[in-house]
Amino acid sequence: MSKTPDSGKTEDERPSTVEQYLVKDPERFALNMARMIEQAGKAASAWAEPREKGEVRDHVAEPVVDMVKTFSKLSEYWLSDPQRALEAQTRLFSGYMTVWANSIQRLSAGGEDADDAVKPELGDKRFQDPEWGRNAFFDFLKQAYLVTSRWAGELVEHADGLDEHTRHKASFYVKQVSNAISPSNFILTNPELFRETIASNGENLVRGMKMLAEDIAAGKGDLKLRQADYSSFEIGKNLATTPGKVVGRSDVAEILQYDPATETVLKRPLLICPPWINKFYILDLNPQKSFIRWAVEQGHTVFVISWINPDERHGTKSWEAYIREGLQYGLDTIEKATGEKDVNAVGYCVGGTLLAAALALMAQEGDHRIKSATFFTTQVDFTYAGDLKVFVDEEQVAAVEKAMNEKGYLDGTKMATAFNMLRSGDLIWPYVVNNYMRGKDPLPFDLLYWNADSTRMAAANHSFYLRNCYLENRLSQGMMELAGRVVSLKDITIPVYNLASKEDHIAPALSVFLGSKYFGGEVDYVMAGSGHIAGVVNPPAAQKYHYWTGGKPAGDFDQWIAEATNHPGSWWPHWQRWIEAKDDTRVPARKPGKHMKTLGEAPGSYVKVRV
């Protein structure tokens, strides 16, 4: 930042001026307000029209009712004891008085260096504009907000009378409300937005309302939040570009086989079972990030299941159907394509949960084709399943089932919204501000394109998953019923590579660690750095993050971490060594289509179906 000759101070050090918040061209500003109202009307029409035609039914009340019930239980705890309520109110009042005293001190002579009553958490990007600190009005708003949100969080933390599920929900909902009411989200309480609105005479709001109308129309009556410039990407062109063929197609899955990149390959082919909640190409975003391409370059004959984006025809497709027509169909296809029965398998997230359940079923049925299993951020025990458990109790599952039964599937936008809410401070509000208030198009970003490429959930499949895993935790307890059998993870005696990621908010590292004890064979637990996506998609060339290896995944999790070995960089080469230690036999490379008819080029047609 440059020095100014008249003051000798940097721009950030100069005092705030009122002029930057005053309208310079009232006529143009008024005209733009009228144009904004016109665009807001189009947004309202885009929301109302599908509802008037009966194409959309709102289920907004259900989550709101659950939030109100949760907050009622929290309020009951604090208000049931007058002394406890008084102490809570006193803490909040004390925080406000500190903010007020600091504000008075800042306004008085020589008070510029008064400490904030509370500071934003490290990494909080909402209050970076200098005006949040040097302008008394915005500084007061910031500190009052932070004091209030911290106090609300502490109410949940110290509510000893709440059961653990209610406490978890209360903490989650408090975080959602706190993120939503942040002064950084509103024009008149965000100095940067205020200045931009004044400087452009409101043209940012015109653009923002136009984008809002477009995004509601794109969501067919629901807001489809724009997180990236989607026009820059096309599946098969600059996403999911690893060359290969479609070598099989069932009602629920296409099976992709990728072209070899080495003269010899490992004898055991590799079958990847991705989640159907997202599309498989998270493992093949681009050549630099692609786990699939990297695995091919290490000598794997890679097969991937590309799940259908279901519609009303797939409403009755159950977990058994996904096992038979997805996983086992993939194994059948591999045998036809390569002649090999012995296979290494990888399951990612819920794809890993399906793989674990399938392995338990196949063990009982005498199907032993999978010789090793690798799980990427996969839960088989859901005791500590993270913030997604907030959405799962009997009332909420019944409501989801009712909504799914109307169409035979759950709309993709519903799942996308749920996942975005897990990190609303990163994945919702920054884009609301950028798009609809600043009126700026988001930047191209392949990961966020993938994140927005939603998939529907087949009704029978999703209901089985919610009830058997999140609600009743039947898989780890040996009570899950599949194909008329009660399956047990103890029957899985093949080697298991169980990968967690340290900052995972979907499959917490603790949850993955505790799940390791339910398998019947040897388990190697590895913890990668970062989260659910970046912890997995971490190519060696990036030289990012760390991973931890240690002893048997048993006992206290914190103790395991304390004794684990920290390795810099990607876990991918470690996994490759683990695979080769099981069987490093090599054979001449296999080309797709040599022994069977192919059905088109990878990445196939199922992955291109959008909602």
Active site residues: 349
Please give, one letter per residue, the 3-state secondary structure of 162-209.
Answer: CCHHHHHHHHHHHHHHHHHCCHHHCHHHCHHHHHHHHHCCCHHHHHHH
Instruction: Count Cα atoms within 13 angstroms, Cβ side, for 552.
Output: 7
Cis peptide bond upstream of 603, omega within 30:
yes
Nearest CA-CA partner of 150 in 175, 123, 133, 127 = 175
Q: What's the CA gap between 283 and 417, in Å, rounded?
A: 22
Instruction: For residues 401 and 465, give the distance between their C-alpha atoms in angstroms, rounded to a whole number.
Output: 12
Phi, psi angles (nearest 5°) of residue 526: -130, 135
Q: How many Å apart are CA 292 and CA 24, to the nearest integer? A: 56
Q: How far apart are CA 519 and CA 494, in angstroms?
A: 9
- Report the candidate in 364, 457, 370, 461 with the shortest Cα–Cα distance to residue 419: 457
How far apart CA 269 and CA 303 sit, in angstroms, is 7
Buried b (16+ CB within 10 A) or exposed e, 561-579: beebeebebbbbebbbebb
Q: Give CA–CA dist 465/49, Å, rounded.
A: 34
d(CA 582, CA 578): 7
Q: Tell me, rounded to whole angstroms, the distance of Cα 547 from its chain centroid.
A: 21
> CB within 8 A of 525, min separation 6: which ones?
498, 500, 512, 513, 516, 550, 552, 553, 560
Backbone angles phi, psi at 599, to 5 degrees: -115, 15
End-to-end CA distance of the chain: 46
